[in-house]
Structure 1
């Protein structure tokens, strides 16, 4: 399956021009490292393409969990000021990868394969080290500008292949998005440095450092099982016996620490299991797991989720109550409770429950989305609109907030506001022409007051000017 991956990828580039990414002027990267600003700009373009792809896991709870874990590690690293962002890709293979600009992705398969939170943290710590040590920038600094442009186009081409049967075989052969790192060619020295810095970060963040060699040893054993079809992580991060031995030697000199997993680790994995395969198969698998581990609240929560997915809301509610008796209060449980109540047509109860949950867990971003959804569906779109407008004023880069705000406006019949919010959503997704089209629709709607119409006109002129400038840059 890995035959001629580079040739296949190169053929994709011919059909997917570099200028589609609107990449910045990188300067003379052959003479120096890629600048942080240019690297970030490239990463932003790539991540927009990823977030439009069907494989991107648009799950606020799991993304929030991975993000909290990752930012805890980043804060403990030697470069806490280095910006990092985390996302999850729906893919059963074991892989994680760092993109230009500090964007770090993990596959759902890796999250499910990790046997402890410290193991998962060890992989994230390794990827964070690639970012903080600026390995991608150093590699690009030794190559030409066209090399980096090719890497960016290759990644987007691979993602495009998912929805195009004519190129899907090439995408698979390339190991999907994460395998682009093999084109960047992490050197053994970079891998050893990422191991060393990652271990130091793991220890500083309070995790069990044994998680790193333990996880990598298991990956190495998988080589014999997979033979030529090794896990994707091993194809993008070459693993040697010397690397594992070096990890073990470093761990031997570190303080022993037994660290329990956080509830979020178990809930995230249970939610992924509840969404795997068909709903019937997910229910069957989790029923079997719960039968063998009756006191595990996360598995019981997962079963409740699978039952809801299968349309069995009453049984889901019963399982959720069983999970509540086994666990401490958690936003994971409250979000599911709201979904079950909405499925049962209990909009008011869902809203009241989620309001109480927001009071109890004010730092949970997922509960903000869940409460807004409940208000829109449960008959309180005006309150949803007020709260979302206040929140989006503080977090204007949150695409989910703009999507919900557009829906709340639509429920209220406010077409100008609806299309203005939709324009901001498209802009965050990297579709400038679509954003302009939405603003033109908003201007024609004519149901906004003078200030709303003026804001639409000003934003439309701004984006039209930006589009003209981008088109001029492409011609030069």
Structure 2
């Protein structure tokens, strides 16, 4: 009974954010604790809904790769080494970051832009990692006993709706707090203090400047008065007190001073986010001024190229790119920008060459892989694109973007069965098993494909149909 109540409450909690998919079985109903397996399953389901249903999810492979590289560095240096973490961006100007069950950690673009140094950003992420490694959500459920179910629902509303000030989500949070949980605030302070302590330790172990963590929190607290009653999202979900800041400052004061320069990727990611989809006149002028400095920074020149490109000033972008290349800096993001510039000039063949050469230097860059595949198809080389896509899918079969690009190449080659088979995998990864089954049925009806391809489609359709039946059963049980 309890496991169904938890699932039902979680589903209700997710409604304001349009996360209406059914949640997985949470484990043994006789236990009030949230098991590690249950955490993983909940986190995976919520992450799937965020990735494919939330328009605020930042679909930017470069930013996400950067966050995961930074996050993995922090995880590897602390007690979370070996645990499955996933870091992603949220396209929102508010200052916020949040941890979800299963090691899913979201970072708002506003937080990245507000950080005055990479150590500040790393400090916030280290704090969130500590929430995960210490299993604060699971411990809260177990500690509160009979109120843990409602608290978990309220907590997930808080972390998923924190960037929104909607009355619905705030009312749901207050309902959970008012349900007899008089000790919740003190308990939350305990968790925050623990995350502060371990976050600072982890920050030092990962060779960052530990002073970046309290300095960012202190600045956030000082600026909060500008928001009056609408405090920054990070303060709403992470209660911040002067006592906490004092304790952090005291803790880092006894640690050795370390001056850590920002990575180039941190600077480039911030420049990219500042430009956005289309740079305003003010942003363009800001980068023009920065690029005229002596000497100009790589990030300023990169931002200027991207700003010109976003506003279709291609001749200016070409000149700025030539200046940027004089810096002789090796960077996947700069190579990717040059490939985008070739595409803007309607030169997919040239773009494919840029992306292919860059991938030799940065074989793990998803952004370069996606760029090369798209450029090859646009350049009339779908066969080459399919060869690359098949190789990449073998190593990362859960990457929906690769399957989409593979389907595009197969469509250009007239491979109808293969195209529908690839699209079926896209929908399966998204959790839309009904659409996946439909695509597989279309693949069965396609007039091409050999015996082995049809056999593979038949087998996959049986698997997807079983997943669909299980999904429908879970939804019925949760009504």
The TM-score normalised by the length of structure 2 is 0.88
Give the corresponding residue for 1:273. Answer: 274
Distance change in 2, residues 1:188/1:225 (3 Å): same
1:155-170 matches, within 5 Å, as 169-170=166-167
Does residue 1:51 correspond to 2:70, yes or no?
Answer: no
CA distance in 2, matches of 1:18, 1:369: 28
**Helix, strand or coil for the counterpart of 2:220?**
helix
Asked whether the equivalents of residues 55 and 89 of structure 1 are also in contact (C-alpha less than 8 Å), the reply is yes
State the number of aligned residues.
Answer: 457
Question: Structure 1 residues 47 and 171, CA, compared in 2 at 3 Å: closer, same or farther?
Answer: farther
Deviations 1:331-359 (A, max 9, x none): 11111111111111222222222221111
Query: CA separation in 2, counterparts of 1:227 and 1:366?
Result: 40
1: distance between equivalents of 2:90 and 2:471?
Answer: 30
**2:350 is aligned with 1:337:** no
TM alignment of 1:250-329, pairs within 5 A: 250-275=251-276, 279-291=280-292, 295-326=296-327, 328-329=329-330
SS in 1 for 2:116: coil
Measured after TM superposition, the shift of residue 295 of structure 1 is 0.6
Q: What is the match of residue 85 of structure 1? A: 86
Aligned equivalents of 1:140 and 1:175: distance in 2? 17
Following the alignment from structure 2 to structure 1, what is the Cα–Cα distance between the partners of residues 171 and 366?
35
1:12/1:248 CA distance change after superposition, 3 Å: closer
Change (3 A) 1:132 1:439: same
Q: Please report how far the alpha carbon of residue 226 of structure 1 lies from its aligned counterpart in structure 2 after TM superposition.
A: 1.6
Normalising to structure 1: TM-score of the pair? 0.88
Q: Which residue does 1:248 correspond to in 2?
A: 249
* Deviation digits for residues 158-184 of structure 1 (CA, Å, limit 9, x no counterpart): 59x99xxxxx944686899xxx9xx99
In structure 2, runs of 5+ residues without a counterpart are 1-9
In 1, the alpha carbon distance for the partners of 2:296 and 2:73 equals 29
Report how far residue 278 of structure 1 moved. 5.1
Any unmatched runs of 5+ in structure 1? 1-8, 163-167
- For residues 416 and 168 of structure 2, the distance between their equivalents in structure 1, rounded to whole angstroms, comes to 40
Deviation at 1:103, TM superposition (A): 0.1
CA contact (8 A) 1:208 1:257 kept: yes
Please list, as runs of the form range in 1=range in 2, the aligned pairs for 1:300-449 lying within 5 A after superposition: 300-326=301-327, 328-449=329-450
When residues 342 and 171 of structure 1 are mapped into structure 2, their CA distance, relative to the original with a 3 A threshold, is farther
RMSD over aligned Cα atoms? 3.0
Cα separation, 2, equivalents of 1:411 and 1:293: 49
Deviations 1:124-180 (A, max 9, x none): 000000001110111122345743773588479959x99xxxxx944686899xxx9
Partner deviation per Cα, 1:197-243 (whole Å, 9 max, x = no partner): 11111000010001001101101101222221211101100011111
Mark the CA change 1:151 to 1:373 in structure 2 (over 3 Å): closer, same or farther.
farther
Counterpart secondary structure, 2:106: strand
The question of whether the paired residues in 2 share the 8 Å contact of 1:19 and 1:474 is answered with no
